[in-house]
Structure 1
């Protein structure tokens, strides 16, 4: 496997793997506290290489091999990381694949650089989760703890507990995508499992209803969970990506 490479963003080294090939570039944006060595990221890289396609995967600051502490980061920091790798490590049109929080990052990238994004696939996209999920779900004691200590610890079904900081909540409000027009003027495929306990089917339907675009579809997969990474689900991601690439 090729050695990890790095670029500097806001004074932190951001880790990535980049494989040149036929465009448009396929860029994978991982989920919260995930990294570029995850099943979906590595599988799609192998898929792209086998077809001679350009592919990029990377770690946000505070994730994987990139510098920084996770609980010092926020959506805006990871948005700047995403834009930096798109601007500096790819050329021409991009098909962006976003998993969970990476789906929010994909939507933010489409809003920030609409001329570059040629297509999108999301997997259990989690737009606005800091506000609609975390903050909205806090009880009075948790909100008081946030004000008192600047942080709250939340359990996770998939990994160690999340440390949610006041900065994450406040910064998230500056990056909401479901409360203003969201134009996705390119082929889009949203994938969502019905057994996902982190992102609800209702969230996926709300995103589909809210976004504006002529070629947009939502695929619900009965019984699939948030990981969406078994053999069947990986095949569905491939098929969605093939559809988007063919329509670009």
Structure 2
């Protein structure tokens, strides 16, 4: 039965001082028809008990599909210091989770920052001799390169000073009483993981869902991503009254319809 509070199991990623325990909740496919496993890649400061992740798991149960959810280090019930988080670190954890579950093929569903992680995952999975095939991508309000493209150009002088003097800056969060924290390491590492720098060849169908009232990731960012995907079969759905979260019932329906079309 689908449950946001299923007991997770943990794997250790990294060594020594960099070791952290990553929480995974997964379900196996109910049939052996070799359909892709669904892999949820959450956004910055989100976790695997969010509405979209839980609804994806419910859909997987209904369709008898394998589904993998997990929390990045410093998120949800995973261990680790959030302030040490970087794209490279969370990418390493995403790879480790997929390698732990060893699916034959996957559909990556990435929300916000998870869309960036998904695009980088494809690059890294291609380097593996026996890694799973990526059968499709569903990107929800994708935020590739958000540190360099959306944050750094808009830093205030006070935020720049805080990055230099404290190694991080804070800003109020619309979704939590706790402020968002952005570190100097996150910004520096982000530049080493940029994907909007040339042609992105995913080798699979891509479905992008983007709200036009998204104040965190403007819909123009999704249009720019489209320009970097000239070789792929890409569907972009612009949702006129959609915000960044895209968690309303009608938004969930769109997400699941996109996933179902890729499974089929």
Q: Confirm or deny a common fold (TM above 0.5).
A: yes
Task: Please give the alpha-carbon distance, in whole angstroms, between the structure 2 residues aligned to 1:70 and 1:142.
Answer: 19
Contact 2:201 2:232 in 1 (8 A): no
> What is the 5 A alignment of 1:115-134?
116-134=133-151
Instruction: Tell whether 2:66 aligns with 1:54.
Output: yes
| Cα deviation, residue 90, structure 1 | 3.1
1:218 to 236, 247, 262: 236
SS in 1 for 2:204: coil
Corresponding residue number in structure 2 for 1:135: 152
Instruction: Tell whether 2:6 aligns with 1:5.
Output: no
Corresponding residue number in structure 1 for 2:129: none
1:74 to 80, 86, 95: 86
Q: Which runs of 4+ in 1 moved over 6 A?
A: none
1:180 to 195, 198, 219: 198
Task: Please give the alpha-carbon distance, in whole angstroms, between the structure 2 residues aligned to 1:84 and 1:13.
Answer: 11
Corresponding residue number in structure 1 for 2:172: 155
Any idea what the Cα deviations from partners look like across 1:43-87, whole Å, max 9, x if unmatched?
A: 110111111001000000000000012112111110101111112
Contact 1:195 1:223 in 2 (8 A): yes
Task: Please give the alpha-carbon distance, in whole angstroms, between the structure 1 residues aligned to 2:78 and 2:122.
Answer: 23
Task: Please give the alpha-carbon distance, in whole angstroms, between the structure 2 residues aligned to 1:170 and 1:19.
Answer: 36
Corresponding residue number in structure 1 for 2:216: 198
| Cα deviation, residue 244, structure 1 | 1.4
TM-score, normalised with respect to structure 2 = 0.90
Task: Please give the alpha-carbon distance, in whole angstroms, between the structure 1 residues aligned to 2:248 and 2:241.
Answer: 11
Task: Please give the alpha-carbon distance, in whole angstroms, between the structure 2 residues aligned to 1:92 and 1:177.
Answer: 25
Give the aligned CA root-mean-square deviation in angstroms. 1.3
Corresponding residue number in structure 1 for 2:254: 236
Corresponding residue number in structure 2 for 1:44: 56
| Cα deviation, residue 125, structure 1 | 0.4
Task: Please give the alpha-carbon distance, in whole angstroms, between the structure 2 residues aligned to 1:150 and 1:3.
Answer: 35
TM-score, normalised with respect to structure 1 = 0.95
SS in 1 for 2:66: strand
